[in-house]
Amino acid sequence: MRHHLFRRTAVAAALLGLVLTGAPALAAPGAAPAAGSTLTAAGTNTPVKVTLTVRGPDGVLFRGKIRTKGHDVTPATGGTQRCDGTNGGAHPSAVPTPTAALDDAARKRGFAWDGTWYPSFEDYFVQSIKNVDAGATAYWNISVNGTSTPVGGCQFRIHAGDRVAFTWTAL
């Protein structure tokens, strides 16, 4: 059991490192919103409405419109952390983020999510959503408008009309 937990943590840390450092600069955190999105004034944490989809290994676990803004989030196992785009210096002031949207959906629609907080990245590595665990053989990929985020879900800015997805992805 202890070996499994160590392996799972090591895999999660390695994967998070790859996701946060190896993504292309084309989808930088400050990138312009998708066509048709409404860009709020720079540096504002104005609530936005996005479509959130959670896809597990057996299909859609959740799909709905969520109104969100950057805020402190608390996963199922506790440990409230800031998740407002200022994480890791990504933005100078609070903005809406994918993980904040997931947290709002979970609280409003009655399901749980969990993840490990990594202080060095100031971000979560999401490990389970709606009782579907990524385990040691998968991870929860975060994408916005069909493109994987180049940074963590507490660092990436989302805009009104964005399509945010958390997708269970086999390694």
Q: Does pTM surpass 0.85?
A: no
pLDDT of amino acid 61: 98
Task: Quickly count: other Cβ atoms within 10 Å of residue 106's Cβ.
Answer: 23
CATH topology of domain 2-26+46-170: Ferric Hydroxamate Uptake Protein; Chain A, domain 1 (2.170.130)
Handedness of CA 45, 150, 99, 15 (dihedral sign): negative
Is-contact 78 142, C-beta < 8 A? no
Q: Give the three-class secondary structure for 90.
A: coil
Of the candidates 154, 134, 145, the one whose C-alpha atom is nearest the C-alpha of residue 53 is 145
Residue 24, C-beta contacts closer than 8 angstroms, at least 6 positions apart = 150
* Sequence spans of domains, the chain: 2-26+46-170
The stretch 27-54 carries a mean pLDDT of 63
Given a cut of 70, whether residue 147 has pLDDT beyond it is: yes
Least confident of 8-22, 68-82, 100-114, 125-139: 8-22
